[in-house]
Amino acid sequence: MTDTAPVANGAADQSQVAQVAIQKIYVKDASFEAPNAPMIFQDPGQPNIQLNLNQKVQTLGDNVYEVVLTVTLTCKVNDKTAYLAEVQQAGIFGMVGFDPATLHAMLGTFAPNALFPYARQVISGLVLEGGFPPFVLQPVNFDQIYAETMRRRAQEQPAATA
* 94-148 pLDDT, tens digit each: 999 999 999 999 999 999 999 999 999 999 999 999 999 989 999 999 999 999 9
pLDDT for the residue numbered 2: 45
pLDDT for the residue numbered 161: 59
Q: Does residue 161 fall inside a structural domain?
A: no
Q: Does residue 84 fall inside a structural domain?
A: yes
Give the whole-angstrom CA distance, residue 55 versus residue 53: 7
- Domain holding 66, by residue range, is 18-155
Q: Does residue 160 fall inside a structural domain?
A: no
Q: Does residue 134 fall inside a structural domain?
A: yes
As for how many domains the chain has, the answer is 1
Domain of 136: which CATH number?
3.10.420.10
* 146-156 pLDDT, tens digit each: 999 999 989 98
pLDDT greater than 50 at residue 47: yes
Q: Does residue 127 fall inside a structural domain?
A: yes
5-29 as b/e: b if 16+ CB within 10 A: eeeeeeeeeeeeeeeeeeeebeeee
pLDDT for the residue numbered 162: 53
pLDDT greater than 90 at residue 160: no
Average pLDDT, integer, range 54-80: 97
